[in-house]
Structure 1
Amino acid sequence: MEAFKYFEQEGNNYNLKVQKGLLFTLAMGCVAAIVAILIYSTSKATFFYVALFAFIGIMCILRTTGAIIFNNQTREIQRKRFFFSAPVNYSFDDFDHFLISKQKSYFITIMVQAIMVMRKDNKTRHILLAQTLFTAKPLQKLSEEVSTIMGLPQN
């Protein structure tokens, strides 16, 4: 039995660990931005900025309640965005490829995302696995673990 860094195993199910540290940090940054706007802003758009940062902070907190479960026995991936959303099931056979997307600003990598691209019912679906700041190396290791769990050939 292999130990994985980014997954918790429960029988044939592999649960992707939620990135609570990153998401709560972003939410706290939104709270700090709201406080700074309320204290220092003299603009007429203060309400808009507060609403925008509140929405982003709430979405970050809700994202921590999501789950992605890989089931080896049924060869399915179950994705649940938030605790109140309906789960969506994908077959391992729907898998197309991995995508690691880097967003750069002035030669500095700002945000990196690991995405699984699925083809279901002749439509392309994207499953966001994880995000990091400044580096892509952890996401490469995550995609290797997903490949191992799904039984994909290693290059």
Structure 2
Amino acid sequence: MDKTDNGQIMSLLTDKIGSNDNFTHTTAANIDDLKKVFNVTLDPALDKQWFVNQSAFNYLDTLKDSEGRYLLQPNPTAPSGFTLLGAPVVLISNKVLPDNIDGTFPVIVGDLSQAIAVFRRNQVTAQWDKFDQFSQGLSVIVRNDYETISKDAAVIISLGTAGK
């Protein structure tokens, strides 16, 4: 069930299902661009988190400020053990959230609980079906729906420079 939920939510976030205008898309070449999205584009009332794939995490993990300190800060309460700009960083597999075609890394920032709703119909239907004259099979049906709640609650960022 979790894999189905994650796949459907990721599809909504990356515009693979539904309309192509679910969330704002932008690019970021450096930390200043990320700060602008975090501080200006998103509402300060949101409980923001960073969702990054393995490649984006590696990219962010190597960024340093002008004094040579790494920008990702250790935080034992964050899912990945790190925070960026004070918000937890959640690490997602490259298999679930692959790199963009142009070589940039996908980053999602925002409050997913305000961005996407999962409607569960706590009903599982199972029935024995006859598919044709010589075969039968068990059909199991789970009904869930995944919908965008607020398009302003998350931003999809292409991090890095195209053509890496």
Normalised by the size of structure 2, how large is the TM-score?
0.23
Normalised by the size of structure 1, how large is the TM-score?
0.24
Larger Rg: 2
